[in-house]
């Protein structure tokens, strides 16, 4: 059995940022749900605040989340393909 490879420092920090991004997006979704409920009861302040933060905070966070998922999927696909070719060439 081979020893586990040490992750580079930049990858650990990138993973942490992406985890925080997921929680930010989930928190924004929760806030939006509360704002909708409040708006239906005549309380408009949470929705106004959410709308103010939509462009500068939530839109980039959602974009980063989607981009990182696509990049991760492509990277995993590429690694599987390279490993499969290496195994085929080795036999």
E strand spans, the chain: none
Domain annotation covers residue 13: no
Residues in the chain: 91
Domain annotation covers residue 6: no
How confident is the model at residue 1, as a pLDDT? 57
Domain annotation covers residue 14: no
Containing domain of residue 67, as a range?
19-86
* CA-wise closest residue to 50 among 30, 23, 21, 64: 30
How confident is the model at residue 11, as a pLDDT? 83
Domain annotation covers residue 23: yes
Domain annotation covers residue 7: no
Please tell me the total count of domains within the chain: 1
Domain annotation covers residue 9: no
Domain annotation covers residue 39: yes
How confident is the model at residue 2, as a pLDDT? 59
pLDDT tens string for the chain (91 positions)? 556 678 888 888 888 999 999 999 999 999 999 999 999 999 999 999 999 999 999 999 999 999 999 998 998 899 899 888 888 887 6
How confident is the model at residue 3, as a pLDDT? 60
Q: Are 21 and 27 in contact (CB under 8 A)?
A: no
């Amino acid at each position: 059995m081979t020893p586990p490879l040490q992750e580079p420092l930049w990858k650990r920090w990138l993973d942490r940022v992406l985890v925080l991004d997921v929680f930010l997006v989930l928190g924004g979704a929760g806030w939006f749900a509360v704002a909708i409920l409040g708006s239906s009861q005549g309380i408009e302040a949470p929705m106004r605040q959410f709308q103010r933060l939509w462009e500068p905070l939530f839109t980039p966070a959602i974009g980063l989340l989607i981009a990182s998922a696509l990049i991760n999927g492509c990277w995993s696909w590429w690694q599987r393909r390279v490993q499969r070719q290496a195994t085929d060439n080795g036999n």
